[in-house]
Amino acid sequence: MDIYRDSRIANHFDRVKELAAEVENYENKIVEQHRYLDINRAKGKNYVQISFNDLTVQENLNYIKFNLKTSNQAFEMFEIIKDKMENHPEIPASIVQKLALRSNLRSEDINAKLLQRFEYKNILRGISKNIDMLDNKNLVDTVFAIGKLHRKHNYAEI
């Protein structure tokens, strides 16, 4: 004897099972995408072992854009990667842009705590050495950021 399930409760139960399977597949896809984007897993190193020299140019730019918090972190990052990435002026340009737009310094402290530091001057040298390699948008954004940082300052001081 064959049993036929025509009731609405049975159909609803089957639909709920299908939805649960679809949600599980979606969750698995999200986890796989996260693993793909995980830099530590991709480089085969844990958080302590990984260095900025291990990252590609795009990964360094993403770090600057999303994770860079203070000017000290920016200077430390630039000192680590300046030899390897010297032909990529978009990295120091992004650092200057981040310092101008998201700096943790008050406007009164910018001259003493940022503009007078040799690390900042090294970043500007890194930009000026290969400025012809910047695209137009990046160049304009960098000039705007430098102008914002140097606003109300005597250029003889710099």
pLDDT digits (tens, 9 = 90+) for 56-115: 888 888 888 888 888 888 888 888 888 877 788 899 999 999 988 876 566 666 766 778
Q: Are 146 and 96 in contact (CB under 8 A)?
A: yes
**138 in a structural domain:** yes
Q: CA-CA distances (angstroms) from residue 13 to 6, 64, 126, 140, 143?
A: 12, 49, 64, 59, 62
Instruction: Please indicate, yes or no, whether residues 58 and 33 belong to a single structural domain of this protein.
Output: no
Instruction: Please indicate, yes or no, whether residues 33 and 56 belong to a single structural domain of this protein.
Output: no
Domain range holding 26? 8-37
**42 in a structural domain:** no
Of residues 145 and 105, more confidently modeled:
145
Look up the pTM and report it: 0.66
Of the candidates 44, 51, 141, the residue with the CA atom closest to the CA atom of residue 92: 141
**156 in a structural domain:** no
**47 in a structural domain:** no
**23 in a structural domain:** yes
38-47 tens-digit pLDDT: 565 556 665 5
**73 in a structural domain:** yes
Instruction: Please indicate, yes or no, whether residues 31 and 69 belong to a single structural domain of this protein.
Output: no
Instruction: Please indicate, yes or no, whether residues 21 and 91 belong to a single structural domain of this protein.
Output: no
